[in-house]
Amino acid sequence: MLTLIADRRATTLSGAAIARVREGLGGGTITVLSPGEAVEIACAEAPDLAFVRAALEGAAIDAIATQAAGRRKKLLLADMDSTIVTAETLDELAAHAGLKAEVAEITRAGMNGEIDFREGLRRRVAMLKGLSVAALEETWQALGFTPGAHALVATMRAHGAVTALVSGGFTWFTGRVATTLGFSVHRANVLLHDGRVLSGAVAEPILDRDAKLAALRELAAEHDLPLSATLAIGDGANDLPMLMEAGLGIAFHAKPLVAAASRARIDFSDLRAALFAQGFRAAEIVEA
């Protein structure tokens, strides 16, 4: 099944665009999921996504191919920073110490796979030694949720899925995000402090790319689910192992390395696209 999703903030999925793609793929049945926003096209074989993207002529439209059977997943594993929330929480926290640019550069290198994630995390946290814990609350208050985040979690929960937030960030934030959005599980790193200031250290062991993959496997096994029944979504290099192993792994507005390696990606649309890719119609989406 090929799903086409338009970035509703920038464009409309036109009949002409749908027709070009459908004709090039052999004329499969079209089902409208959301008028002007999302359709699915039945395909006899896996579609050539390079052809599909060329047929879309540069429009802000995502194309995701999935197996027709088992499309609706029973376990969601989501990254937090730049996926469920719009910012990198550690970078925003560093802004309170006047170090956002320096910390953001290390974050960028880590998310692009240029340095080891654990090494980069230790370096960034060490730079924040002595920062008041009040900066955590200030950072939280300024955070924004990615459009579609509420709908993604609420809709999958409403249809019986387990929802997990697994982050290389900190439990201080994941706990609040999980409570606000309704994630049933959250895991992240523990930022150490004495109640007044940050110690400049993070508790070991560090939750990294291997831990994210382990969480996917563990939660699937705990709920007696095959990996084919799982959805993982993230944007950085530390998300790639779980994206590659999940039944549906989606790179969301991802770093180039991650987007190139992923089987599915959302480049333009919001997080509702992950629901359309599973065959949900607009009327089935639970909006906040």
Look up residue 105 and give its two tokens.
Answer: 């550069």
- Whole-model pTM: value is 0.95
The pLDDT of residue 188 is: 98
How does pLDDT run across 74-133, given as a tens digit for each residue? 999 999 999 999 999 999 999 999 999 999 999 999 888 899 999 999 999 999 999 999
Quickly name the fold that domain 1-65 has: Alpha-Beta Plaits (3.30.70)
Residue pair 10/268 in contact (Cβ under 8 Å)? The answer is yes
Q: Is 270 a catalytic residue?
A: no
Q: Is 79 a catalytic residue?
A: yes
The pLDDT of residue 214 is: 97
The beta-carbon contacts of 154-157 under 8 Å, at least 24 apart in sequence, are 154/181, 154/182, 154/286, 154/287, 154/288, 155/275, 155/280, 155/284, 155/285, 155/286, 156/73, 156/76, 156/231, 156/275, 157/182, 157/184
The pLDDT of residue 113 is: 87
Residue 188 burial (10 A CB sphere; 0-12, 13-18, 19+): buried
* 66 closest CA partner among 273, 271, 215: 273
Q: What is 129-155 written as a DSSP string?
A: TT-BTHHHHHHHHH--BPTTHHHHHHH
Residue pair 174/167 in contact (Cβ under 8 Å)? The answer is yes
Distances (CA, A) of 62 to 12, 37, 150, 227, 250: 12, 10, 20, 24, 11
Determine what percent of the chain is predicted with pLDDT higher than 70.
100
Active-site entry in 62, 81, 91, 208 = 81
The pLDDT of residue 224 is: 98
The pLDDT of residue 27 is: 81
Please give, one letter per residue, the 3-state secondary structure of 86-136: CCCHHHHHHHCCCCHHHHHHHHHHHHCCCCCHHHHHHHHHHCCCCCECHHH
The pLDDT of residue 94 is: 95
Residues 6+ apart with CB under 8 A from 218: none
Q: How far apart are CA 132 and CA 83, in angstroms?
A: 26
Please report where in the chains the tokens 């960028």 appear, as a residue.
108
Q: How far apart are CA 239 and CA 47, in angstroms?
A: 25
Active-site entry in 7, 62, 79, 270 = 79
Look up residue 251 and give its two tokens.
Answer: 């790179």
Q: Is the dihedral of CA 109, 86, 258, 255 positive or negative?
A: negative
Residues 6+ apart with CB under 8 A from 197: 129, 130, 131, 132, 133
pLDDT in tens, the chain (288 residues): 999 999 989 999 999 999 999 999 988 999 999 999 999 999 999 999 999 999 999 999 999 999 999 999 999 999 999 999 999 999 999 999 999 999 999 999 988 889 999 999 999 999 999 999 999 999 999 999 999 999 999 999 999 999 999 999 999 999 999 999 999 999 999 999 999 999 999 999 999 999 999 999 999 999 999 999 999 999 999 999 999 999 999 999 999 999 999 999 999 999 999 999 999 999 999 987
The residue count of the chain comes to 288
